[in-house]
Chain A
Amino acid sequence: MKCRVCGKKAAVEVRRQGQAFCSEHYLEWFERQVERAIRRHRMLNEHDRVLVAVSGGKDSIALWEVLHRLGYATTGLHIQLGIDAYSQRALKATRAYAQNRGLPLIVVDLKEAYRLAIPELAELTRRRACSVCGLTKRYVMNRVAVEEGFDVVATGHNLDDEASVLLGNVLHWQTDALVRQGPVLPAKTKLAKRVKPLYLLTEREILAYTLLRRLPYQHEECPFAAGAKSLLYKEALNKLESAMPGTKQAFLEQYLKKIEPILKEGLPAGEIELKACERCGYPTTGEVCAFCKTWDHAYRWARKRAVLPDETRFEPKPALAFYAKTAADGG
């Protein structure tokens, strides 16, 4: 197999487009894909201050690298989840990347900021780790973006993430979730704009990019990911993709183009009104937001079980002192 640009031996095949590339031209192709997605959906403006959500996995590290190479002013945000050695190694990869490129990184350590890490939070609330984890990450991401004056938050969601979420939503006909699948979520009061520049690139393509650029990344899987439905959906989609290249992309893109607009039309006029959470002031549809509810609940049990002292009250604002800012020189 030969590179379609220079004819040298190919290193990566992009079967969904019937193309193959040598390493040099693959990197070029990959970065151009991201650039095109950003332009097509007006994800970022030239002078935006971009907060990149960086878990330390291949997707978020690749995203940070491409945005940096495209010339955007980026700052990384790593949320330290406190899931044992897994989280430690994730932070290490993130730090290694930031230091190597001389890019600023904000770290919010949940255990330091809120006194509980994800495993304890899940245990105390008797909820699945991924559900309290996702909720907490989204909240912290948004809050840091709003309070630190960023224009937009970029996340590393890829084609496989998006297609598998879509499959899950379609299998259960979750219409409310279905209309929130786009690559751009616009800003609202106290809600930062969110974009997914990698949403049309597959996990395999992103891994190839990360390896060819020799970027440090966290290889391990989170122990709580085992048995997740999303993995089953991804596997099923990859089987289809191997037999019918282009399936994942067509599934997601055609949905976004043809079906989502129709679904949105059928919704009652006007969007659901957002109010300010009584506890923290951030947007919610109810009185108290899901984040504050969850953490208040955890604190009640933590006090009862003497995990936390009696007088501790949950404070939704993570103290700024817990943000460790690393500058280019590592200072």
Chain B
Amino acid sequence: MKVVLRTPEREERELKGPKRVRQVLEELGIVPEGVIVARGEELLTLDDEVTDGDTIEVISAVSGGRA
């Protein structure tokens, strides 16, 4: 599967499926609380399974610097 990271810089990774979203994040070392995972327009929960043909996006929710 293709994983597009927007954290927030764009990066691409290839991972072997099938896997649960929770596992994908674990393998990439990403803390689940800081991101939303989407497949196209559909938002995924940590329990959802993604497979080899899928392209998913990991979008960072953390913004900062505000004084």
Contacts and interface: CB of A to CB of B under 8 A. Distances in A.
A193 interface: no
Contact of A203 (B61, B65, B67): B61
A130 B43 contact: no
Given A13-B46, A211-B59, A231 B65 contact: yes
In the complex, which range does the number of interface residues on chain A fall in? Answer: 35 or more
Contact of B65 (A130, A157, A207, A242): A130
Contacts of A133: 67
Given A11-B42, A208-B43, A220-B8, A238 B34 contact: yes
Nearest to A157: B66
B67 A206 contact: no
A230 interface: yes
Chain B at the A interface: SS class: loop
Interface residues of B, number: 24
A204 B47 contact: no
Which of B33, B34, B45, B61 has most chain A Cβ within 10 Å? B33
A204 B63 contact: no
A241 B45 contact: no
Interface string A209-228: 00110000001111011101
A203 B35 CA distance: 9
A312 to B, nearest CB: 26
A28 interface: no
B55 to A, nearest CB: 16
Contacts of B59: 207, 211, 219
A109 interface: no
Contacts of A12: 43, 45
Interface string B15-53: 000000000000000011111101000111111100000
A11 B44 CA distance: 5
Given A219-B8, A239-B31, A234 B36 contact: no
B6 interface: yes
A134 B43 contact: no
A235 B45 contact: no
B32 to A, nearest CB: 5
A224 B67 CA distance: 11
A135 B33 contact: no
B33 A241 contact: yes
A206 B59 CA distance: 12
A284 interface: no
Contacts of A241: 33
Contacts of A57: 63
Nearest to A13: B45
Interface in A232-262: 234-235, 238-239, 241-242
A59 interface: yes
A221 B31 contact: no
Contacts of A238: 31, 33-34, 62
Interface in A183-221: 202-204, 206-208, 211-212, 219-221
Contacts of A221: 8, 63-65
Question: Nearest 7 pairs between A and B by C-beta?
Answer: A134-B67, A225-B65, A231-B64, A238-B33, A207-B61, A203-B61, A228-B65
Interface of A: 1, 10-13, 20, 23, 57-59, 130-131, 133-135, 157, 160-161, 202-204, 206-208, 211-212, 219-222, 224-226, 228, 230-231, 234-235, 238-239, 241-242
Given A219-B8, A225-B63, 5 more contacts: A1-B48, A130-B67, A207-B59, A208-B36, A219-B6
